[in-house]
Amino acid sequence: MTSSEFTVVQPWRSNRKGPGWWVFSHVRRNWAIILVILAGAIGNAALAAAIPIFTGQAFDAITGASPDLRALAVACVLLVISQGVRSGLQLGRNFGSEVLGQRLERDSRRELYGELLGKSMGFHDMHSTGDIMARSTNDVRELALMMAPGLNLVIGSAIFLVMPIVVAPRYHPTLVIVPVLFAIGYVLAMWHYLRSLQPVTAAVRRTFGEMNARLTEAVEGIETVKGAAQEEREVALFERNATRVRDAIVAQARVEARFLPLLLLAVATGVAFGQALYLYHQGVITVGAVAAYIGLISLFDFPVFTSLFAYSQVASGLSSARRILELVRAQAVVDQNSAGYAAPMRGDIVFDGVTFGYDLTDVDVAQNALVDVSFTLEAGQTLALVGQTGAGKSTVAKLINRIYDVDAGRITIDGVDVRQWNLETLRRQISIIEQDIFLFSRSIAENIAFGKPDATQSEIEAAARAAQAHDFIMSFPDGYSTVVGERGMMLSGGQRQRIALARAFLTDPAILILDDSTSAIDSATEDQIQRAIEHASQGRTTILITHRLSQIRWADKIVVLRKGRVAAQGAHAELIEHSQPYRDIFARL
């Protein structure tokens, strides 16, 4: 099984073994930038070490028995030149690391977005939108910060750590002892520091995602919150979540406050200064060597003080990469089946002993939405699904176009199991209009043409007329160019449903499923919409999930569902005469 039901073709293949491997697989493609960063880091550290070397030469030039002004001038000129070159290398290194970080953010965001689109509804049902948004925005941003300034400083500080070890022996062999011991202590301290950082940075990322998830729910459900006058309760809940984020950040700060290399640096500086003075008094080294050596030891300032920030940024970035990978690597329940059956669809539908239950992880005993459901619908026929709320009617629609896969039994279209169809081919020929209409914050024309982006304006208007939507659309000042609000909230329920009908009519599907899609249409418009649906259903298989008698009566076949099972099926007259469950439903209608 593939990891998604839809695949965005990427120009690269990422390594998903772990967060470190995943980040490296994205970064390594930018090898030219990596070379610039490494060259800049090495050159920066080497030329930083040139400062104490030339400073020591300057001290020796003026403290000797006879001051050598020419040697002093040479040292000064070389110092200026070296630092000019160093500035250029630093510019290339910092610019390269920033570009690398932005490319990592761009590529990881693209990969994650493609994976999220490819996950099945089973995945999205089990993940909070707010948490997904936190990972897609804040966590992805942390990856860029991990590169610049994070890893940029880590690489630079590591090379700074080597320079005193390499240069100090030129003044006296024993002067390498303190730098070596400090480097060993630094590495051990950083190993312990990183181990302590990993869980606290993960806690920061997790609590932030949970806070963001709850905030998203409150904003999306703001009408419900206000309608129930629960603003104070939601504010209190958000404050508790924000406090958890604060506590997690404070816990991270506590770990950072116990940064042992700061103490090691102070000890190393004191011991090095004492050793250098001892050798000077012994007449083994010059005063210039003492100045140079202390300058070399001061190079340790950079790895110590930058590591306090840089390593925590890297740890936070790896925690974010781990959270992103959890989404990327999650297996989809429905596979793409790109090599599957792909042909024009006639519309014959057969349910053969279908059983299905939603995956509710927080419910101990799963309850099936459908149990042993069987019925047959020939191409061009109209089926009405009726039953009480929760009987499983909408689940039937979601199984036909493989939003979910059956647990047992099978569904065939044109004699081919839907699981054997190419998923894109299957869904392009099936149109579902649900009761809860989703419209994008785009123009009305773009919403109608969503399933057929290349549709002409005349085709869009023809579909709108068929759905009885043209007149109210033209009543807006901008007509079809009118931009509707998020989820189409500026439109009435009936207007949203007619736009959804127009969207379905435009794609000319072989199978049309109307899931209570006319529930919000007023009685004055119902007859017109009814005629539009009758016209649209001609020549195609139509499934009506409805409570409207006018639609139930003219269906070729009616299936009565009760608690997920088929209670009866047949024509209207037949069911009225022989089916008590149908008569009960009909009587309530």
Q: Which of 60 and 437 is assigned the larger pLDDT?
A: 60
Nearest to 58 by CA among 274, 281, 277, 286: 286
Whether 5 has a pLDDT exceeding 70, the answer reads no
In this predicted structure, what is the pLDDT of residue 522?
Answer: 60
How far apart CA 520 and CA 505 sit, in angstroms, is 19
Question: Minimum mean pLDDT among 6-10, 160-164, 166-170, 306-310: which range?
Answer: 6-10
Round the average pLDDT of the chain to a whole number and report it: 86
In this predicted structure, what is the pLDDT of residue 227?
Answer: 79
**Residue that finishes a domain, picked among 299, 328, 357:** 328
Question: Minimum mean pLDDT among 184-188, 272-276, 361-365, 556-560: which range?
Answer: 361-365
Nearest to 178 by CA among 294, 15, 348: 294
Instruction: Name, in order, each residue with C-beta under 8 angstroms of 136's C-beta and a sequence gap of 6 or more.
Output: 109, 112, 113, 116
pTM comes to 0.74
Q: Read off the pLDDT band of 41 (50, 70, 90).
A: very high
Per DSSP, what are the bridge partners of residue 370?
A: 356
**Residue that finishes a domain, picked among 278, 298, 328:** 328
**Start-to-end C-alpha separation, the chain:** 45
In this predicted structure, what is the pLDDT of residue 363?
Answer: 44
8 A C-beta contact, residue 544 and residue 377: no
**Residue 213 lies inside a defined structural domain of this protein:** yes
- Report the CATH number that the domain containing residue 548 is assigned in CATH: 3.40.50.300
State whether residue 369 is helix, strand or coil. strand
Whether 141 has a pLDDT exceeding 90, the answer reads yes
**Residue 258 lies inside a defined structural domain of this protein:** yes
Cis preceding linkage at 149, omega within 30: yes
Quickly count: other Cβ atoms within 10 Å of residue 218's Cβ.
Answer: 18
Instruction: Name, in order, each residue with C-beta under 8 angstroms of 329's C-beta and a sequence gap of 6 or more.
Output: 3, 16
Nearest to 208 by CA among 116, 122, 136, 104: 136
**Residue 275 lies inside a defined structural domain of this protein:** yes
Region of 484 (left: φ > 0; alpha: ψ -120 to 50; beta: rest) is: beta
8 A C-beta contact, residue 545 and residue 513: yes
In this predicted structure, what is the pLDDT of residue 489?
Answer: 62
**Residue 114 lies inside a defined structural domain of this protein:** yes
In this predicted structure, what is the pLDDT of residue 143?
Answer: 93
Residues 407 and 499 in one domain: yes
How far apart CA 377 and CA 397 sit, in angstroms, is 13
State whether residue 466 is helix, strand or coil. helix
Distances, alpha carbon 303 to alpha carbons 67, 93, 261, 442, in Å? 36, 16, 9, 51
Question: Minimum mean pLDDT among 154-163, 325-334, 522-531: which range?
Answer: 522-531
**Residue 165 lies inside a defined structural domain of this protein:** yes
Across 53-67, 288-302, 420-434, the highest mean pLDDT is recorded for: 288-302
In this predicted structure, what is the pLDDT of residue 3?
Answer: 47
Whether 388 has a pLDDT exceeding 50, the answer reads yes
Residues 418 and 554 in one domain: yes
8 A C-beta contact, residue 29 and residue 96: no
Question: Minimum mean pLDDT among 96-100, 119-123, 319-323: which range?
Answer: 119-123
Nearest to 396 by CA among 377, 370, 416: 370
How far apart CA 112 and CA 166 sit, in angstroms, is 44
Instruction: Tally the C-alpha atoms within 13 A of residue 12's C-alpha that lie toward its C-beta.
Output: 17
Residue tagged 């979910």 (tokens): 404
8 A C-beta contact, residue 207 and residue 241: yes
Residues 423 and 465 in one domain: yes
pLDDT tens digit sequence for 544-555:
888 777 778 778
**Residue that finishes a domain, picked among 274, 299, 328:** 328
**Residue 92 lies inside a defined structural domain of this protein:** yes
Nearest to 296 by CA among 141, 162, 152, 184: 162
In this predicted structure, what is the pLDDT of residue 8?
Answer: 62
Residues 369 and 482 in one domain: yes
Provide the 8-state DSSP code for 150: I
8 A C-beta contact, residue 96 and residue 35: no
Q: What is the mean pLDDT of the segment spanning 214-242?
A: 84
How far apart CA 316 and CA 451 sit, in angstroms, is 40
How many residues does this entry show for the chain? Answer: 589
Give the structural domain span for 166: 19-328
What's the total number of domains in the chain?
2
Residues 424 and 459 in one domain: yes
Question: Minimum mean pLDDT among 11-15, 141-145, 309-313, 498-502: which range?
Answer: 11-15
Q: Which of 365 and 430 is assigned the larger pLDDT?
A: 430
In this predicted structure, what is the pLDDT of residue 233?
Answer: 86
How far apart CA 205 and CA 215 sit, in angstroms, is 15
Q: Read off the pLDDT band of 587 (50, 70, 90).
A: low
Residues 275 and 396 in one domain: no
Provide the 8-state DSSP code for 482: P
Question: Minimum mean pLDDT among 99-103, 226-230, 532-536: which range?
Answer: 532-536
In this predicted structure, what is the pLDDT of residue 488?
Answer: 59
Enumerate helices (H) and strands (E) in the chain, giving the number of each. Answer: 23, 10
Residues 474 and 534 in one domain: yes
State whether residue 452 is helix, strand or coil. coil
In this predicted structure, what is the pLDDT of residue 84?
Answer: 94
Residues 487 and 535 in one domain: yes
Residues 371 and 323 in one domain: no
pLDDT tens digit sequence for 408-421:
999 999 999 999 99
Joined together, the tokens standing for residue 450 give 């969503």
8 A C-beta contact, residue 552 and residue 579: no
How far apart CA 38 and CA 513 sit, in angstroms, is 59
Strands 368-377 vs 349-357: parallel, antiparallel or unpaired: antiparallel
Residues 498 and 465 in one domain: yes
Whether 163 has a pLDDT exceeding 70, the answer reads yes
- Report the CATH number that the domain containing residue 75 is assigned in CATH: 1.20.1560.10
8 A C-beta contact, residue 354 and residue 372: yes
Residues 461 and 422 in one domain: yes
**Residue 547 lies inside a defined structural domain of this protein:** yes
Provide the 8-state DSSP code for 29: T
Residues 212 and 281 in one domain: yes
Listed as own residue / partner, the contacts of 64-69 with beta carbons closer than 8 Å and 24 or more positions apart are: none
With pLDDT > 70 as the criterion, what percentage of the chain qualifies? 91
Rg of the chain taking only CA atoms, in angstroms: 35
Q: Which of 13 and 341 is assigned the larger pLDDT?
A: 341
Whether 154 has a pLDDT exceeding 70, the answer reads yes
Q: What is the mean pLDDT of the segment spanning 401-430?
A: 91
pLDDT tens digit sequence for 292-308:
999 999 999 999 988 88
**Residue 3 lies inside a defined structural domain of this protein:** no
Instruction: Write the secondary structure of 433-447 as one string of H (helix), E (strand) and C (coil).
Output: ECCCCCCCCCEHHHH
Specify the DSSP element, H or E, that contains 266: helix 261-281
